[in-house]
Every structure is written in C-alpha cells, then in structure tokens.
C-alpha cells in the first residue's frame, strides 16, 4: 500500500481518525507521518515483535518471503516491526498469528468484556471450558493448564458468592 500523501513510498504508519462524521483511515509513509506530527510507537512495536519471537521462534526464509496479497507486507517485515499492514493480513497470516495471539491474550477468540456478577461467572465458566477444549485439541497443554487453573478460581469465587 502506498502513502496517501506522497504516493511514492510504502505506507508503514496506519491510524484511524475518529470524527463526528465517522472514522477515517489514513495510511502514510514514515516521512509523511513525521511531517503530519504522527509518530509510531517504537516501544509497543518492539514489545509485539519480541512477543512474536518468544511465541513462535525464529523466522525461516520461507516465512520471511510470505507476503500479504492486499498490502504486500511480508511476514518477516511484520515480525520485525510488530504490526500488520492491513485488515487482510489477519486472514493471510492466520496460521502464523494464532500462537502469538494465544500467547498475548490466552485465546485466539475474542469474547469481549463483561461485568462478572452472578450469571457472568456462569458465562465465563462456559467460555473457559470451550477454550480448554480448544487448547487440548490443539495440544497447547500449557494454555490448557492455565485455563484449568482459572476455571478452578472462578468455581471457588462462584461458591463464595452463593454463600
């Protein structure tokens, strides 16, 4: 994807501007972004790149050459900068992203946030049990153990609430 300002360099800074009329996505190269006063967050990028390294190990030559068919971002570049290039990257690199998402979030499925009172515990237990089944099926035994431990905590909390 090319920069929307200069049209010459690849866009590496992507942000969404929220206005009264709606959301506007802007894609800029680093030079144009600096001119606009928009800086990338190197701390977050390095953190995510480090998490990717820890979650899935070294990048092979074959993996480095994988490129998103929409924006052209390579998997090697994603691992280096810690950010995806476009929404299609999530689908294109799905197999590679799952271990990273599991490491960062404990799951590859977003279930949202909710206040966990009364029946909320029941819903959390249901969700945790589904996550546990998935982890066991994927042979992610460390994740399964962590989920199992969380289930035990939620059950204890639920018993305390009922008393």
Predicted local distance difference test score (pLDDT) of residue 52: 52
46 and 17, same structural domain? no
Predicted local distance difference test score (pLDDT) of residue 7: 92
Around Cβ 113, how many Cβ atoms within 10 Å? 6
**112 domain-assigned:** no
45 and 29, same structural domain? no
For 5-152, strand residue ranges (E) read 13-19, 22-28
- Please check whether residue 121 is in contact with residue 81, taking contact to mean a CB–CB distance below 8 angstroms: no
Q: What angle do CA 98, 82, 87 make, to 5 degrees?
A: 65
What DSSP assignment string belongs to 18-49?
A: EETTEEEEEEE-HHHHHHHT----HHHHHHHH
80 and 46, same structural domain? yes
**144 domain-assigned:** yes
In the chain, how many domains are there? 3
Give the span between the Cα atoms of 159 and 31, in whole angstroms.
57
**111 domain-assigned:** no
Domain encompassing residue 72: 41-105
* C-alpha distances out from residue 54 to 47, 49, 152, Å: 11, 9, 28
**2 domain-assigned:** yes
Tens of pLDDT along the chain (163 residues)?
898 999 999 888 877 766 667 777 888 888 888 887 776 555 445 555 555 555 455 667 777 778 999 888 888 888 777 778 888 888 888 888 787 777 666 666 665 554 444 456 777 888 888 888 888 888 888 988 999 999 888 888 877 777 6
**110 domain-assigned:** no
131 and 85, same structural domain? no
**114 domain-assigned:** no
53 and 36, same structural domain? no
- Please check whether residue 79 is in contact with residue 55, taking contact to mean a CB–CB distance below 8 angstroms: no
Predicted local distance difference test score (pLDDT) of residue 43: 45
- Please check whether residue 84 is in contact with residue 66, taking contact to mean a CB–CB distance below 8 angstroms: no
126 and 97, same structural domain? no
71 and 31, same structural domain? no
Give the span between the Cα atoms of 55 and 51, in whole angstroms.
6
65 and 87, same structural domain? yes
Predicted local distance difference test score (pLDDT) of residue 6: 93
Q: Which residues fall within 8 angstroms of residue 155, CB to CB, at 6 or more apart?
A: 125
Give the span between the Cα atoms of 106 and 131, in whole angstroms.
9
Numbers of helices and strands, H then E, in the chain: 8, 2
């Amino acid at each position: 994807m090319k920069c929307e300002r200069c049209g010459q360099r690849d866009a590496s800074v992507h942000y969404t501007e929220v206005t009264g009329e709606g959301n506007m996505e802007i894609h800029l190269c680093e030079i144009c972004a600096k001119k606009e006063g928009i800086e990338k967050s190197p701390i977050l990028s390095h953190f995510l790149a480090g998490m990717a390294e820890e979650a899935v190990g070294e990048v092979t030559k074959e993996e480095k050459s994988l490129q998103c068919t929409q924006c052209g971002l390579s998997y090697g570049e994603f691992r280096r900068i810690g950010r995806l290039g476009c929404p299609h990257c999530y689908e294109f690199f799905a197999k590679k992203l799952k271990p990273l998402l599991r490491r960062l979030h404990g799951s590859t499925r977003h279930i949202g946030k909710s206040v966990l009172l009364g029946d909320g515990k029941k819903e959390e237990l249901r969700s945790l049990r589904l996550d546990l089944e998935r982890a066991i099926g994927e042979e992610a035994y460390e994740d399964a153990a962590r989920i199992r431990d969380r289930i035990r905590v939620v059950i204890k909390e639920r018993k305390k609430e009922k008393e």
